[in-house]
Chain A
Protein backbone atom coordinates (compact mmCIF):
# COMPACT_ATOMS: atom_id res chain seq x y z
CA UNK A 1 0.00 0.00 0.00
CA UNK A 2 1.34 3.39 -0.95
CA UNK A 3 2.01 6.16 1.56
CA UNK A 4 -0.61 8.36 -0.08
CA UNK A 5 -3.36 5.75 0.29
CA UNK A 6 -2.41 5.18 3.91
CA UNK A 7 -2.17 8.83 4.87
CA UNK A 8 -5.68 9.59 3.62
CA UNK A 9 -7.33 6.40 4.89
CA UNK A 10 -5.66 5.77 8.26
CA UNK A 11 -7.22 8.87 9.89
CA UNK A 12 -10.65 7.86 8.61
CA UNK A 13 -10.24 4.34 10.00
CA UNK A 14 -9.01 5.86 13.25
CA UNK A 15 -12.12 8.06 13.30
CA UNK A 16 -14.28 4.95 13.07
CA UNK A 17 -12.28 3.20 15.81
CA UNK A 18 -12.36 6.15 18.19
CA UNK A 19 -16.12 6.45 17.68
CA UNK A 20 -16.62 2.72 18.31
CA UNK A 21 -14.35 2.45 21.35
CA UNK A 22 -14.63 5.66 23.40
CA UNK A 23 -12.53 4.34 26.33
CA UNK A 24 -9.58 3.68 24.02
CA UNK A 25 -10.16 6.78 21.89
CA UNK A 26 -7.20 8.76 23.20
CA UNK A 27 -4.75 5.90 22.67
CA UNK A 28 -6.03 5.13 19.18
CA UNK A 29 -6.06 8.81 18.24
CA UNK A 30 -2.56 9.46 19.52
CA UNK A 31 -1.25 6.38 17.70
CA UNK A 32 -2.93 7.45 14.47
CA UNK A 33 -1.44 10.95 14.74
CA UNK A 34 2.01 9.47 15.28
CA UNK A 35 1.63 7.16 12.27
CA UNK A 36 0.34 10.10 10.26
CA UNK A 37 3.48 12.08 11.12
CA UNK A 38 5.71 9.17 10.03
CA UNK A 39 3.81 8.83 6.75
CA UNK A 40 4.02 12.58 6.12
CA UNK A 41 7.76 12.56 6.79
CA UNK A 42 8.28 9.61 4.47
CA UNK A 43 6.19 11.21 1.75
CA UNK A 44 8.18 14.43 2.13
CA UNK A 45 11.40 12.43 1.74
CA UNK A 46 10.08 10.81 -1.44
CA UNK A 47 9.15 14.21 -2.90
CA UNK A 48 12.58 15.61 -2.05
CA UNK A 49 14.32 12.66 -3.69
CA UNK A 50 12.21 11.94 -6.73
CA UNK A 51 9.92 14.89 -7.29
CA UNK A 52 6.13 14.85 -7.11
CA UNK A 53 4.40 11.51 -6.43
CA UNK A 54 1.13 10.87 -8.24
CA UNK A 55 -1.45 8.13 -7.86
CA UNK A 56 -4.52 7.51 -10.00
CA UNK A 57 -7.29 6.15 -7.79
CA UNK A 58 -8.62 2.84 -9.11
CA UNK A 59 -6.23 3.19 -12.07
CA UNK A 60 -8.73 5.55 -13.74
CA UNK A 61 -6.78 8.46 -15.20
CA UNK A 62 -8.14 11.99 -14.71
CA UNK A 63 -10.46 13.48 -15.90
CA UNK A 64 -12.48 10.24 -15.78
CA UNK A 65 -11.17 9.36 -12.34
CA UNK A 66 -9.50 11.23 -9.51
CA UNK A 67 -5.75 11.54 -8.99
CA UNK A 68 -3.70 12.27 -5.90
CA UNK A 69 -0.71 14.53 -6.50
CA UNK A 70 1.87 14.96 -3.74
CA UNK A 71 4.05 17.86 -4.86
CA UNK A 72 6.19 20.16 -2.74
CA UNK A 73 3.35 22.42 -1.64
CA UNK A 74 1.18 19.44 -0.65
CA UNK A 75 4.16 17.96 1.19
CA UNK A 76 4.67 21.15 3.22
CA UNK A 77 0.96 21.29 4.06
CA UNK A 78 0.93 17.62 5.12
CA UNK A 79 3.97 18.21 7.33
CA UNK A 80 2.31 21.28 8.87
CA UNK A 81 -0.82 19.26 9.66
CA UNK A 82 1.22 16.39 11.06
CA UNK A 83 3.30 18.58 13.39
CA UNK A 84 0.38 20.61 14.75
CA UNK A 85 -1.63 17.38 14.99
CA UNK A 86 1.03 15.73 17.14
CA UNK A 87 1.00 18.57 19.64
CA UNK A 88 -2.77 18.81 19.75
CA UNK A 89 -3.12 15.05 20.21
CA UNK A 90 -0.57 15.15 23.02
CA UNK A 91 -2.49 17.90 24.77
CA UNK A 92 -5.87 16.24 24.24
CA UNK A 93 -4.70 12.78 25.29
CA UNK A 94 -3.30 14.17 28.56
CA UNK A 95 -6.08 16.66 29.24
CA UNK A 96 -9.58 15.98 30.51
CA UNK A 97 -11.41 13.49 28.29
CA UNK A 98 -14.03 15.18 26.15
CA UNK A 99 -16.50 12.78 24.58
CA UNK A 100 -16.62 13.25 20.87
CA UNK A 101 -13.31 15.05 20.38
CA UNK A 102 -11.38 12.19 18.85
CA UNK A 103 -13.75 11.11 16.04
CA UNK A 104 -14.11 14.75 15.00
CA UNK A 105 -10.37 15.42 15.09
CA UNK A 106 -9.56 12.23 13.17
CA UNK A 107 -12.17 13.13 10.55
CA UNK A 108 -10.59 16.60 10.32
CA UNK A 109 -7.16 15.05 9.82
CA UNK A 110 -8.40 12.70 7.10
CA UNK A 111 -10.22 15.51 5.33
CA UNK A 112 -7.18 17.80 5.44
CA UNK A 113 -4.85 15.12 4.09
CA UNK A 114 -7.32 14.30 1.34
CA UNK A 115 -7.74 17.96 0.53
CA UNK A 116 -4.02 18.64 0.18
CA UNK A 117 -3.41 15.57 -1.97
CA UNK A 118 -6.45 15.61 -4.24
CA UNK A 119 -6.14 17.18 -7.65
CA UNK A 120 -9.85 17.25 -8.34
CA UNK A 121 -12.07 20.23 -7.58
CA UNK A 122 -15.24 18.28 -6.79
CA UNK A 123 -13.35 15.85 -4.61
CA UNK A 124 -11.84 18.78 -2.73
CA UNK A 125 -15.35 20.13 -2.22
CA UNK A 126 -16.40 16.86 -0.56
CA UNK A 127 -13.33 17.01 1.67
CA UNK A 128 -14.36 20.56 2.62
CA UNK A 129 -17.75 19.23 3.66
CA UNK A 130 -16.15 16.82 6.13
CA UNK A 131 -13.84 19.57 7.33
CA UNK A 132 -16.66 22.07 7.78
CA UNK A 133 -18.94 19.69 9.69
CA UNK A 134 -16.16 18.39 11.92
CA UNK A 135 -15.09 21.98 12.65
CA UNK A 136 -18.64 22.83 13.72
CA UNK A 137 -18.55 19.86 16.08
CA UNK A 138 -15.15 20.93 17.45
CA UNK A 139 -16.53 24.42 18.13
CA UNK A 140 -19.59 23.04 19.91
CA UNK A 141 -17.47 20.67 21.99
CA UNK A 142 -17.08 23.16 24.84
CA UNK A 143 -20.83 22.77 25.39
CA UNK A 144 -21.41 26.32 26.61
CA UNK A 145 -24.21 28.49 25.27
CA UNK A 146 -21.71 30.81 23.59
CA UNK A 147 -19.97 27.84 21.98
CA UNK A 148 -23.24 26.43 20.62
CA UNK A 149 -24.23 29.84 19.27
CA UNK A 150 -20.80 30.24 17.64
CA UNK A 151 -21.04 26.71 16.22
CA UNK A 152 -24.39 27.51 14.66
CA UNK A 153 -23.06 30.71 13.08
CA UNK A 154 -20.07 28.72 11.87
CA UNK A 155 -22.39 26.13 10.31
CA UNK A 156 -24.38 28.83 8.53
CA UNK A 157 -21.31 30.65 7.22
CA UNK A 158 -19.75 27.34 6.21
CA UNK A 159 -22.88 26.36 4.28
CA UNK A 160 -22.90 29.65 2.39
CA UNK A 161 -19.25 29.11 1.53
CA UNK A 162 -19.90 25.51 0.45
CA UNK A 163 -22.82 26.53 -1.75
CA UNK A 164 -20.72 29.14 -3.53
CA UNK A 165 -17.88 26.66 -4.06
CA UNK A 166 -20.27 23.99 -5.32
CA UNK A 167 -21.98 26.47 -7.64
CA UNK A 168 -18.61 27.48 -9.03
CA UNK A 169 -17.59 23.87 -9.57
CA UNK A 170 -20.90 23.07 -11.29
CA UNK A 171 -20.39 26.02 -13.61
CA UNK A 172 -16.80 25.05 -14.28
CA UNK A 173 -17.99 21.56 -15.18
CA UNK A 174 -20.49 22.95 -17.63
CA UNK A 175 -17.85 25.27 -19.14
CA UNK A 176 -14.96 22.82 -19.43
CA UNK A 177 -16.62 19.40 -19.04
CA UNK A 178 -14.17 18.35 -16.35
CA UNK A 179 -13.55 18.98 -12.68
CA UNK A 180 -9.88 18.06 -12.28
CA UNK A 181 -7.22 20.72 -11.73
CA UNK A 182 -6.54 20.97 -15.46
CA UNK A 183 -9.91 22.70 -15.67
CA UNK A 184 -8.53 25.79 -13.91
CA UNK A 185 -6.38 26.91 -16.84
CA UNK A 186 -9.28 26.35 -19.23
CA UNK A 187 -11.52 28.38 -16.96
CA UNK A 188 -9.26 31.42 -17.11
CA UNK A 189 -9.74 31.60 -20.86
CA UNK A 190 -13.41 32.63 -20.95
CA UNK A 191 -15.67 35.08 -19.14
CA UNK A 192 -18.00 32.30 -18.01
CA UNK A 193 -15.03 30.37 -16.70
CA UNK A 194 -13.78 33.39 -14.78
CA UNK A 195 -17.22 33.77 -13.18
CA UNK A 196 -17.01 30.14 -12.08
CA UNK A 197 -13.55 30.73 -10.62
CA UNK A 198 -14.73 33.88 -8.87
CA UNK A 199 -17.64 31.96 -7.27
CA UNK A 200 -15.28 29.26 -6.01
CA UNK A 201 -12.92 31.89 -4.66
CA UNK A 202 -15.78 33.76 -2.96
CA UNK A 203 -16.83 30.58 -1.17
CA UNK A 204 -13.24 29.98 -0.11
CA UNK A 205 -12.99 33.54 1.24
CA UNK A 206 -15.94 32.77 3.54
CA UNK A 207 -14.40 29.47 4.60
CA UNK A 208 -10.96 30.97 5.20
CA UNK A 209 -12.52 33.80 7.25
CA UNK A 210 -10.84 36.40 5.08
CA UNK A 211 -11.89 40.01 5.68
CA UNK A 212 -14.66 41.17 5.20
CA UNK A 213 -16.33 37.73 5.44
CA UNK A 214 -14.63 36.79 8.70
CA UNK A 215 -17.53 37.89 10.94
CA UNK A 216 -18.33 34.36 12.15
CA UNK A 217 -14.77 33.43 13.06
CA UNK A 218 -13.56 35.25 16.22
CA UNK A 219 -16.54 34.00 18.25
CA UNK A 220 -16.09 30.42 17.02
CA UNK A 221 -12.35 30.28 17.62
CA UNK A 222 -12.48 31.97 21.00
CA UNK A 223 -15.34 29.97 22.52
CA UNK A 224 -14.06 26.49 21.59
CA UNK A 225 -11.97 24.30 23.88
CA UNK A 226 -8.18 24.99 23.65
CA UNK A 227 -7.26 21.93 21.59
CA UNK A 228 -10.21 22.59 19.27
CA UNK A 229 -9.31 26.29 18.91
CA UNK A 230 -5.77 25.31 18.01
CA UNK A 231 -7.03 22.95 15.31
CA UNK A 232 -9.54 25.44 13.92
CA UNK A 233 -7.20 28.38 13.84
CA UNK A 234 -4.00 26.62 12.80
CA UNK A 235 -5.30 24.02 10.36
CA UNK A 236 -8.94 24.25 9.33
CA UNK A 237 -8.79 27.75 7.83
CA UNK A 238 -5.58 26.71 6.05
CA UNK A 239 -7.58 24.23 3.99
CA UNK A 240 -9.39 27.07 2.23
CA UNK A 241 -6.23 29.22 1.98
CA UNK A 242 -4.38 26.28 0.47
CA UNK A 243 -6.98 25.88 -2.26
CA UNK A 244 -6.87 29.61 -3.01
CA UNK A 245 -3.10 29.34 -3.41
CA UNK A 246 -3.51 26.20 -5.53
CA UNK A 247 -6.01 27.90 -7.84
CA UNK A 248 -3.64 30.85 -8.19
CA UNK A 249 -0.79 28.47 -9.08
CA UNK A 250 -2.80 26.37 -11.54
CA UNK A 251 -4.26 29.42 -13.27
CA UNK A 252 -0.89 31.06 -13.84
CA UNK A 253 -1.19 34.46 -15.48
CA UNK A 254 -4.93 33.89 -15.97
CA UNK A 255 -5.77 34.16 -12.27
CA UNK A 256 -4.24 37.62 -11.87
CA UNK A 257 -7.75 39.08 -11.31
CA UNK A 258 -8.20 36.78 -8.29
CA UNK A 259 -4.79 37.73 -6.91
CA UNK A 260 -5.51 41.45 -7.18
CA UNK A 261 -8.72 41.07 -5.19
CA UNK A 262 -7.00 38.85 -2.63
CA UNK A 263 -4.23 41.38 -2.05
CA UNK A 264 -6.73 44.15 -1.30
CA UNK A 265 -8.89 41.95 0.97
CA UNK A 266 -5.76 40.65 2.66
CA UNK A 267 -4.47 44.14 3.44
CA UNK A 268 -7.89 45.07 4.84
CA UNK A 269 -8.00 41.95 7.00
CA UNK A 270 -4.48 42.53 8.29
CA UNK A 271 -5.35 46.01 9.55
CA UNK A 272 -8.90 45.26 10.72
CA UNK A 273 -7.86 42.13 12.64
CA UNK A 274 -4.96 43.98 14.26
CA UNK A 275 -7.22 46.87 15.26
CA UNK A 276 -9.69 44.50 16.92
CA UNK A 277 -6.92 42.56 18.62
CA UNK A 278 -5.65 45.83 20.08
CA UNK A 279 -9.06 46.48 21.59
CA UNK A 280 -9.88 42.93 22.73
CA UNK A 281 -10.43 42.46 26.44
CA UNK A 282 -10.14 38.70 26.55
CA UNK A 283 -7.00 36.81 25.70
CA UNK A 284 -8.70 34.17 23.53
CA UNK A 285 -10.50 36.85 21.57
CA UNK A 286 -7.22 38.69 21.02
CA UNK A 287 -5.64 35.53 19.63
CA UNK A 288 -8.70 34.91 17.42
CA UNK A 289 -8.59 38.45 16.01
CA UNK A 290 -4.89 38.00 15.44
CA UNK A 291 -5.84 35.03 13.25
CA UNK A 292 -7.98 37.39 11.14
CA UNK A 293 -4.93 39.63 10.75
CA UNK A 294 -2.57 36.75 9.93
CA UNK A 295 -4.97 35.28 7.39
CA UNK A 296 -5.03 38.73 5.85
CA UNK A 297 -1.25 38.71 5.63
CA UNK A 298 -1.22 35.27 3.99
CA UNK A 299 -3.92 36.32 1.51
CA UNK A 300 -1.90 39.43 0.75
CA UNK A 301 1.16 37.29 0.15
CA UNK A 302 -0.79 35.06 -2.26
CA UNK A 303 -2.23 38.15 -3.89
CA UNK A 304 1.00 40.04 -4.57
CA UNK A 305 2.91 36.93 -5.66
CA UNK A 306 2.30 37.57 -9.37
CA UNK A 307 2.44 34.90 -12.03
CA UNK A 308 3.76 31.81 -10.26
CA UNK A 309 5.39 30.58 -13.46
CA UNK A 310 7.67 33.62 -13.42
CA UNK A 311 8.41 34.27 -9.74
CA UNK A 312 8.78 32.09 -6.69
CA UNK A 313 7.11 34.70 -4.50
CA UNK A 314 4.13 32.42 -3.79
CA UNK A 315 6.50 30.31 -1.66
CA UNK A 316 6.44 33.10 0.89
CA UNK A 317 2.70 32.54 1.31
CA UNK A 318 3.26 28.81 1.92
CA UNK A 319 5.98 29.58 4.47
CA UNK A 320 3.72 32.06 6.24
CA UNK A 321 0.96 29.44 6.38
CA UNK A 322 3.39 26.96 7.90
CA UNK A 323 4.76 29.38 10.49
CA UNK A 324 1.33 30.72 11.39
CA UNK A 325 0.04 27.18 11.93
CA UNK A 326 2.81 26.32 14.38
CA UNK A 327 2.75 29.64 16.22
CA UNK A 328 -1.02 29.99 16.42
CA UNK A 329 -1.56 26.43 17.63
CA UNK A 330 1.14 26.99 20.27
CA UNK A 331 -0.57 30.21 21.26
CA UNK A 332 -4.03 28.69 21.67
CA UNK A 333 -2.66 25.75 23.66
CA UNK A 334 -0.70 28.17 25.87
CA UNK A 335 -3.75 30.39 26.35
CA UNK A 336 -5.71 27.31 27.36
CA UNK A 337 -3.13 26.57 30.04
CA UNK A 338 -2.94 30.21 31.21
CA UNK A 339 -6.72 30.41 31.52
CA UNK A 340 -6.73 27.10 33.36
CA UNK A 341 -4.13 28.31 35.88
CA UNK A 342 -5.77 31.71 36.38
CA UNK A 343 -9.40 30.70 36.14
CA UNK A 344 -10.14 33.46 33.62
CA UNK A 345 -8.64 34.94 30.43
CA UNK A 346 -9.11 38.70 30.94
CA UNK A 347 -6.04 40.52 29.67
CA UNK A 348 -6.26 43.14 32.42
CA UNK A 349 -6.03 40.33 34.98
CA UNK A 350 -2.81 38.81 33.63
CA UNK A 351 -0.73 40.95 36.07
CA UNK A 352 -0.88 38.62 38.99
CA UNK A 353 0.93 38.75 42.27
CA UNK A 354 0.51 35.23 43.51
CA UNK A 355 1.69 33.33 40.43
CA UNK A 356 5.02 33.54 38.62
CA UNK A 357 5.07 33.11 34.85
CA UNK A 358 5.25 29.46 33.85
CA UNK A 359 6.08 27.50 30.71
CA UNK A 360 2.77 28.44 29.08
CA UNK A 361 3.62 32.15 29.27
CA UNK A 362 7.06 31.39 27.86
CA UNK A 363 5.52 29.41 24.98
CA UNK A 364 3.13 32.29 24.28
CA UNK A 365 6.03 34.73 24.12
CA UNK A 366 8.03 32.60 21.65
CA UNK A 367 4.94 32.09 19.50
CA UNK A 368 4.34 35.86 19.59
CA UNK A 369 7.89 36.50 18.39
CA UNK A 370 7.29 34.17 15.46
CA UNK A 371 3.96 35.80 14.60
CA UNK A 372 5.51 39.26 14.64
CA UNK A 373 8.31 37.91 12.46
CA UNK A 374 11.48 38.54 14.42
CA UNK A 375 14.55 36.54 13.41
CA UNK A 376 15.31 33.65 13.61
CA UNK A 377 11.71 32.39 13.67
CA UNK A 378 9.77 30.81 10.80
CA UNK A 379 7.60 33.91 10.63
CA UNK A 380 10.69 36.00 9.94
CA UNK A 381 11.73 33.79 7.02
CA UNK A 382 8.26 34.06 5.48
CA UNK A 383 8.11 37.83 5.77
CA UNK A 384 11.71 38.22 4.62
CA UNK A 385 10.98 36.17 1.50
CA UNK A 386 7.92 38.27 0.80
CA UNK A 387 9.53 41.67 1.34
CA UNK A 388 12.66 40.73 -0.59
CA UNK A 389 10.54 39.65 -3.53
CA UNK A 390 8.44 42.80 -3.36
CA UNK A 391 11.56 44.99 -3.38
CA UNK A 392 12.61 43.29 -6.62
CA UNK A 393 9.21 43.94 -8.15
CA UNK A 394 8.90 47.48 -6.86
CA UNK A 395 5.85 46.93 -4.68
CA UNK A 396 6.83 49.57 -2.13
CA UNK A 397 3.25 50.33 -1.06
CA UNK A 398 2.67 46.66 -0.21
CA UNK A 399 5.88 46.61 1.83
CA UNK A 400 4.68 49.66 3.77
CA UNK A 401 1.38 47.91 4.52
CA UNK A 402 3.13 44.73 5.65
CA UNK A 403 5.41 46.71 7.94
CA UNK A 404 2.41 48.56 9.37
CA UNK A 405 0.67 45.23 10.01
CA UNK A 406 3.84 43.91 11.63
CA UNK A 407 4.08 46.93 13.93
CA UNK A 408 0.43 46.52 14.92
CA UNK A 409 0.90 42.82 15.63
CA UNK A 410 3.90 43.65 17.83
CA UNK A 411 1.70 46.16 19.65
CA UNK A 412 -1.22 43.86 20.39
CA UNK A 413 0.92 40.87 21.27
CA UNK A 414 3.04 42.96 23.65
CA UNK A 415 -0.16 43.80 25.53
CA UNK A 416 -0.10 40.19 26.63
CA UNK A 417 3.59 39.42 26.76
CA UNK A 418 4.46 42.51 28.78
CA UNK A 419 1.86 41.58 31.39
CA UNK A 420 2.40 37.90 31.78
CA UNK A 421 6.19 37.80 31.70
CA UNK A 422 6.73 40.71 34.07
CA UNK A 423 8.74 39.90 37.17
CA UNK A 424 9.92 42.54 39.61
CA UNK A 425 8.64 43.98 42.86
CA UNK A 426 4.93 43.59 42.29
CA UNK A 427 5.22 39.79 42.34
CA UNK A 428 4.83 38.50 45.89
CA UNK A 429 7.87 36.80 47.42
CA UNK A 430 5.81 33.70 48.09
CA UNK A 431 4.60 33.45 44.51
CA UNK A 432 4.79 29.97 42.99
CA UNK A 433 5.34 28.85 39.46
CA UNK A 434 2.41 26.89 38.01
CA UNK A 435 3.23 23.17 37.85
CA UNK A 436 4.20 21.57 34.53
CA UNK A 437 1.43 19.92 32.57
CA UNK A 438 1.42 18.01 29.30
CA UNK A 439 -0.36 20.96 27.73
CA UNK A 440 2.74 23.02 28.46
CA UNK A 441 4.93 20.48 26.69
CA UNK A 442 2.69 20.60 23.61
CA UNK A 443 2.57 24.41 23.53
CA UNK A 444 6.26 24.81 24.21
CA UNK A 445 7.13 22.12 21.66
CA UNK A 446 5.17 23.89 18.93
CA UNK A 447 6.58 27.29 19.85
CA UNK A 448 10.11 25.89 19.79
CA UNK A 449 9.22 24.30 16.47
CA UNK A 450 8.27 27.71 15.09
CA UNK A 451 11.59 29.06 16.35
CA UNK A 452 13.72 26.21 15.01
CA UNK A 453 11.89 26.14 11.70
CA UNK A 454 13.42 29.54 11.08
CA UNK A 455 16.85 27.99 11.41
CA UNK A 456 15.93 24.94 9.33
CA UNK A 457 13.90 26.85 6.74
CA UNK A 458 16.01 25.33 3.97
CA UNK A 459 13.98 22.12 4.24
CA UNK A 460 10.51 23.51 3.47
CA UNK A 461 11.99 25.85 0.86
CA UNK A 462 13.67 22.95 -0.95
CA UNK A 463 10.38 21.08 -0.81
CA UNK A 464 8.49 24.03 -2.25
CA UNK A 465 11.05 24.39 -5.03
CA UNK A 466 10.52 20.87 -6.37
CA UNK A 467 8.95 21.33 -9.80
CA UNK A 468 5.25 20.63 -10.24
CA UNK A 469 3.96 17.42 -11.76
Chain B
Protein backbone atom coordinates (compact mmCIF):
# COMPACT_ATOMS: atom_id res chain seq x y z
CA UNK B 1 0.00 0.00 0.00
CA UNK B 2 2.74 2.46 1.01
CA UNK B 3 4.77 1.43 -2.03
CA UNK B 4 1.79 2.04 -4.25
CA UNK B 5 1.11 5.48 -2.76
CA UNK B 6 4.76 6.35 -3.19
CA UNK B 7 4.72 5.58 -6.89
CA UNK B 8 1.35 7.30 -7.34
CA UNK B 9 2.73 10.38 -5.64
CA UNK B 10 5.78 10.52 -7.88
CA UNK B 11 3.62 9.96 -10.95
CA UNK B 12 1.25 12.77 -9.95
CA UNK B 13 4.12 15.15 -9.35
CA UNK B 14 5.62 14.36 -12.74
CA UNK B 15 2.24 15.01 -14.34
CA UNK B 16 1.94 18.29 -12.45
CA UNK B 17 5.40 19.36 -13.57
CA UNK B 18 4.43 18.54 -17.14
CA UNK B 19 1.41 20.82 -16.80
CA UNK B 20 3.58 23.63 -15.48
CA UNK B 21 6.08 23.13 -18.28
CA UNK B 22 3.20 23.27 -20.73
CA UNK B 23 2.01 26.53 -19.18
CA UNK B 24 5.50 27.99 -19.49
CA UNK B 25 5.69 26.87 -23.11
CA UNK B 26 2.31 28.47 -23.77
CA UNK B 27 3.34 31.79 -22.25
CA UNK B 28 6.45 31.68 -24.39
CA UNK B 29 4.95 30.64 -27.73
CA UNK B 30 1.36 31.92 -27.83
CA UNK B 31 0.81 35.12 -29.81
CA UNK B 32 -1.27 37.46 -27.63
CA UNK B 33 -1.92 38.27 -24.00
CA UNK B 34 -5.38 36.78 -23.67
CA UNK B 35 -4.45 33.37 -25.02
CA UNK B 36 -1.30 33.35 -22.88
CA UNK B 37 -3.44 34.14 -19.88
CA UNK B 38 -5.79 31.36 -20.86
CA UNK B 39 -3.11 28.70 -20.82
CA UNK B 40 -1.41 30.14 -17.77
CA UNK B 41 -4.41 30.21 -15.42
CA UNK B 42 -5.67 26.73 -16.31
CA UNK B 43 -2.50 24.75 -16.70
CA UNK B 44 -0.87 26.50 -13.76
CA UNK B 45 -3.67 25.72 -11.32
CA UNK B 46 -3.91 22.15 -12.52
CA UNK B 47 -0.16 21.70 -12.27
CA UNK B 48 0.03 22.97 -8.70
CA UNK B 49 -2.99 20.86 -7.72
CA UNK B 50 -1.40 17.72 -9.13
CA UNK B 51 1.93 18.40 -7.44
CA UNK B 52 0.16 19.04 -4.14
CA UNK B 53 -1.79 15.80 -4.50
CA UNK B 54 1.43 13.95 -5.24
CA UNK B 55 3.13 15.52 -2.25
CA UNK B 56 0.17 14.52 -0.06
CA UNK B 57 0.58 10.93 -1.23
CA UNK B 58 4.24 11.03 -0.30
CA UNK B 59 3.75 12.75 3.04
CA UNK B 60 0.90 10.52 4.21
CA UNK B 61 -0.07 12.73 7.13
CA UNK B 62 -3.33 14.50 7.76
CA UNK B 63 -1.76 17.83 8.81
CA UNK B 64 0.46 17.98 5.73
CA UNK B 65 -2.47 17.14 3.46
CA UNK B 66 -4.53 19.89 5.03
CA UNK B 67 -1.90 22.57 4.46
CA UNK B 68 -1.30 21.29 0.91
CA UNK B 69 -5.03 21.59 0.28
CA UNK B 70 -4.91 25.15 1.58
CA UNK B 71 -1.98 25.90 -0.73
CA UNK B 72 -3.89 24.57 -3.73
CA UNK B 73 -6.97 26.56 -2.85
CA UNK B 74 -4.97 29.78 -2.45
CA UNK B 75 -3.12 29.25 -5.73
CA UNK B 76 -6.40 28.60 -7.52
CA UNK B 77 -8.03 31.61 -5.95
CA UNK B 78 -5.17 34.03 -6.57
CA UNK B 79 -4.57 32.62 -10.06
CA UNK B 80 -8.18 33.23 -11.02
CA UNK B 81 -8.21 36.70 -9.46
CA UNK B 82 -4.95 37.90 -10.97
CA UNK B 83 -5.91 36.43 -14.35
CA UNK B 84 -9.15 38.32 -14.17
CA UNK B 85 -7.37 41.56 -13.15
CA UNK B 86 -4.81 41.33 -15.95
CA UNK B 87 -7.47 40.57 -18.55
CA UNK B 88 -9.66 43.39 -17.27
CA UNK B 89 -6.80 45.87 -17.41
CA UNK B 90 -5.94 44.69 -20.91
CA UNK B 91 -9.51 45.04 -22.19
CA UNK B 92 -9.92 48.45 -20.57
CA UNK B 93 -6.68 49.87 -21.92
CA UNK B 94 -7.45 48.40 -25.38
CA UNK B 95 -10.88 50.04 -25.48
CA UNK B 96 -9.51 53.38 -24.21
CA UNK B 97 -6.84 53.26 -26.94
CA UNK B 98 -9.52 52.74 -29.57
CA UNK B 99 -11.42 55.74 -28.32
CA UNK B 100 -8.55 58.16 -27.85
CA UNK B 101 -6.94 58.48 -31.33
Judged by CB atoms under 8 Å, the answer to whether A and B touch is no
